[in-house]
Amino acid sequence: MRMGIGLYVGRLHNHQAVFKTLPKLGVTMVFGSPNLRAASLASKEGLEYFCVDWVFGLPPSRAEGMLIRDCSGSERVWGHGSSGCPSNPSLTAIAARRIARTLRSGRFRGLMLDGIRYPSFTEELAVFLTCFCPNCVRDAADHGINLRHIRHSIPLMLEELRNQTDPENLLNKFIDNPDLLDLLRLRELVIAKVLKDLRKAIGEFAPRSLLGAFLFPPSLARFVGQDYAALGEQLDLVSPMIYTSGEGAACLNAEILNLVKALSKFNSKIRHSKILEAIYRKLRIHQKDLPLTLHELERAGLPPEIVKNETQLSRSKLPQGPTLIPILMLSRQAARIRIESRYAKKSQADGISFFQYNPDHVSSLKAAIKEWT
């Protein structure tokens, strides 16, 4: 299904003024907060309005037992302290009630799920290596995964990193460790179950709403519990966040940067440049002139050409059905977003979106849309 051009607007103070300008730029859909007035203002301007829901947001009371637990048994928060454990059925029930309240109004074209995942490399390593809460232990047992064994093996796995002298081995001893693979498989099973439950609930109270999700780029998705094949079965719209430069979660450069930092904490003998090369090979990032220092990776990001690989990889992992709309990062760098937009078009995405509205980035947005259309 060919769809249009989307823009993440989040929470705006001046919806009316902004929404008036967007159709002139070519924007056809916006992603924003669950705000009924914003939805009706968007509709007046001919824009489709999707509300965004951060799925595992903790309730204000921070109910007991909803946090993730690290391998030492300590409760931790993630997502800037806002999120709990995906395997907690109460959190999914809270999300379903919140989404029902939003969608029952019938004023939104659909819903975009955000943060439907476990913690990533941009969190502290002990937070990435979760979760061992009673709900996760129960879910693991249901799938024949021994979470208690994994919990005890994590310190040994990290200790083993100290002895490595080869960058490839250092990386593989971590991300291909059989216990870590079991933990990641559990994450995928939990997230797929949550999405299936939410889809079922939404089908009951808002059958005409489209359901989409912002997902990690496909080369990193497995680390946070997002199995494109399984999630694609439940979604109308898949929006991989293909951010080549940036500082936060899902930004390819920031995720890789934090993985290098985590490995270097246990092994200072192997140079950052060598670890980076090993990660690029593993993730099949083969462009020329890839940054080989952490400073350069942070400052300049990864080459914009990566948008093509990640879009094609998304398509190859997804089942037939969902519309593929990569979301790209807007910045002042009009040249970068223009090239990224061109690569998204070349790789036959069904639509394109941008993160996020900022009056200072309108000329970049114009350049990107021109390239796409």
Q: Based on CB atoms, which residue is closest to Zn ion, 87 or 311?
A: 87
Q: Are 350 and 323 in contact (CB under 8 A)?
A: yes
Least distance in Å: CB of 181 to Zn ion? 18
> Residue 124: exposed, middle, or buried by beta-carbon count in 10 A (0-12, 13-18, 19+)?
middle
42 touches Zn ion by CB under 5 A: no
Pairing of strands 68-69, 75-76: antiparallel
Q: Which is nearer to Zn ion, 106 or 144 (CB)?
A: 144
Q: Closer to Zn ion by CB, 32 or 225: give it.
A: 225
Between CA 299 and CA 283 the distance in angstroms is: 20
Candidates 58, 131, 270, 306: give the one binding Zn ion (CB under 5 A): 131
Tell how strand 210-215 and strand 327-329 pair up.
Answer: unpaired
Distance CA 159, CA 149 (A): 16
- Judged by CB under 5 A, how many residues of this single chain contact Zn ion? 5
Nearest distance from residue 88's CB to Zn ion, in Å?
7
Q: Which run of H or E residues covers position 31?
A: strand 29-32
Specify the stretch interacting with Zn ion by CB under 5 A; choose among 17-25, 85-93, 179-187, 290-298.
85-93
CA 24 to chain centre: 29
User: Which tokens belong to 160?
Assistant: 């083993």
| Alpha carbon 142 to chain centroid, angstroms | 26
The piece of 32-40, 83-91, 259-267, 328-336 that touches Zn ion (CB under 5 A) is: 83-91
> What is the contact mask toward Zn ion in residues 196 to 235, using x (rule: CB under 5 A)?
----------------------------------------
Count the helix, strand and coil residues of the chain and give each as a percent rounded to the nearest 5.
50, 15, 35
The window from 45-53, 86-94, 239-247, 314-322 that contacts Zn ion (CB under 5 A) reads 86-94
| Two tokens, residue 12 | 């705006």
Least distance in angstroms from the C-beta of 118 to Zn ion: 9
* 127 near Zn ion (CB under 5 A): no
Work out how close the CB of 213 gets to Zn ion at its nearest, in angstroms, rounded to a whole number.
20
- The reply on whether position 87 binds Zn ion by CB under 5 A is yes
Nearer to Zn ion, 73 or 106 (CB): 73
Q: Which helix (H) or strand (E) holds 151?
A: helix 147-161
Q: Which is nearer to Zn ion, 197 or 350 (CB)?
A: 197
- Least spacing, CB of residue 131 vs Zn ion, in Å: 3
Q: How far is CA 222 from the centre of its chain?
A: 11
CA 223 from centre of chain: 10
Q: Does the protein bind Zn ion through residue 140 (CB under 5 A)?
A: no
In the complex, what is the shortest distance from the CB of residue 6 to Zn ion, in angstroms, rounded to a whole number? 32
Give the CA count within 13 Å in the CB-facing half-sphere of 134: 4
Residue nearest to Zn ion (CB): 131
Which of residues 58, 103, 136, 189 is near Zn ion by CB under 5 A?
Answer: 136
Where do contacts with Zn ion occur on this chain (CB under 5 A)?
Answer: 85, 87, 131, 133, 136
